[in-house]
Structure 1
């Protein structure tokens, strides 16, 4: 399930891609399969091992060009262990909302991004996220949880402060908003039949990508999209 639109965020052979806060690695895998040289960075050693194993599986299956490379690095987004201008593509997906010093992270992104390079930042959209917070304190008041909700103008402002020029954006994952509202209503850690059934539907959609459902989500994304996605360039 990709939040970034790789038709807008073009990645291919010769591109040097950093995925900050890579988590389960979904965007790093997509960039690797497109032929880029990818570094997936995170602080979670378990997640990094899983990503490293998947990189190896992708290579073994021949799903990435032989010219591409993929590495994992344990790295703090506040102090990235890379030289200035090391990458021409940076992905920071569903990460900024977890970090108090988000301006410092964006400054580091700008530092390691080469002039003319592209960055894509994704965060939970304000109003669907606000409903989750209203329904449940457990949803966000956990260790490593969400500490802020961005409005679009706030995220654009943060990018500009870091010397990055926003190019546009969109919303994604409309079908996931009602699922999280339901989860928050019954309790995020509570097993509930409706949540289970909705989760099965989402997994089926991710695995099968049925055209009518994909079309419905594209239509609903401007209204219900769970994530805000913004693309920017370093001048």
Structure 2
């Protein structure tokens, strides 16, 4: 399930892409399928191992176009191991709401994005998220959970202060908002409740089949009920000279072809 719309966020072949806080890697895999050179970064060693395994499986199944490369690495969003202006595209999907020092992560994201490069940043939308918080403390009061609910204008202001210009926005996943409200009602950690299992089955069916009726329904509901706020941003082209770094992004690329520079 993709939150970023790749029609609105074009990733050309051989573009160097950072998936910041990649989680299970859904956006990394899509960028790799488009022939990009992808670095998936996450703080969780388990997530990094799983994403690297999937990268290998994609290469084995010939799902990586010529020029596509990928690697997953463990790292900290507040101290990225890349030089200034390294990446053509950066995706940060459902990451900032987990970070107490979100301004520091935004500054790092903007630092490693090249002048003229594009970023896609997604966070839980305010209205659906407030309902989840009201229904269940367990939804967010967990280790690594959500530490804030964003107002759109506040988030845009932080991104602009970090050096990024807003160029587009939309909401996504309206059908998922009631699912999480239901989970908060019956017990957010209860995976066996009949109601949530039935709703989850509906969501899986929708993702696999993508029938016109649910696609159209979600499009109509997204502006109000969309679970995720998606922002598209550009780094202005006029920037100070880049700093140097001991490591290049190519050091992390291992799947789908030779490393950069070889």
CA distance in 1, matches of 2:58, 2:224: 35
Deviation of 1:165 after TM superposition, in Å, equals 0.3
SS at match of 1:30: helix
CA distance in 2, matches of 1:109, 1:153: 19
Partner of 1:228: 229
Q: How does 1:29-178 map to 2 (within 5 A)?
A: 29-178=29-178
CA distance in 2, matches of 1:66, 1:59: 11
Partner of 1:219: 220
CA distance in 2, matches of 1:54, 1:14: 19
Which stretch of structure 1 is more off in the superposition, 103-112 or 208-217? 208-217
CA distance in 2, matches of 1:5, 1:181: 24
Partner of 2:9: 9
Partner of 2:204: 203
Partner of 2:258: none
Residue deviations 1:179-214 (CA, integer Å, cap 9, x gap):
000000111012321111001111111122122211
CA distance in 2, matches of 1:30, 1:14: 13
Q: TM-score, normalised by structure 1?
A: 0.98
Could you list the runs of 4 or more consecutive aligned residues of structure 1 that deviate by over 3 angstroms after TM superposition? Answer: none
CA distance in 1, matches of 2:135, 2:47: 29
Partner of 2:241: none
CA distance in 1, matches of 2:213, 2:57: 31
Note the residue ranges of structure 1 that are not aligned, 5 or more in a row: none
Deviation of 1:61 after TM superposition, in Å, equals 1.4
CA distance in 1, matches of 2:33, 2:73: 19
CA distance in 1, matches of 2:212, 2:24: 25
Rg larger in structure: 2
Q: CA RMSD in A?
A: 0.8
Q: TM-score, normalised by structure 2?
A: 0.88
Which stretch of structure 1 is more off in the superposition, 188-197 or 120-129? 188-197
SS at match of 1:62: coil
Deviation of 1:225 after TM superposition, in Å, equals 0.2
Deviation of 1:118 after TM superposition, in Å, equals 0.4
Deviation of 1:66 after TM superposition, in Å, equals 2.4
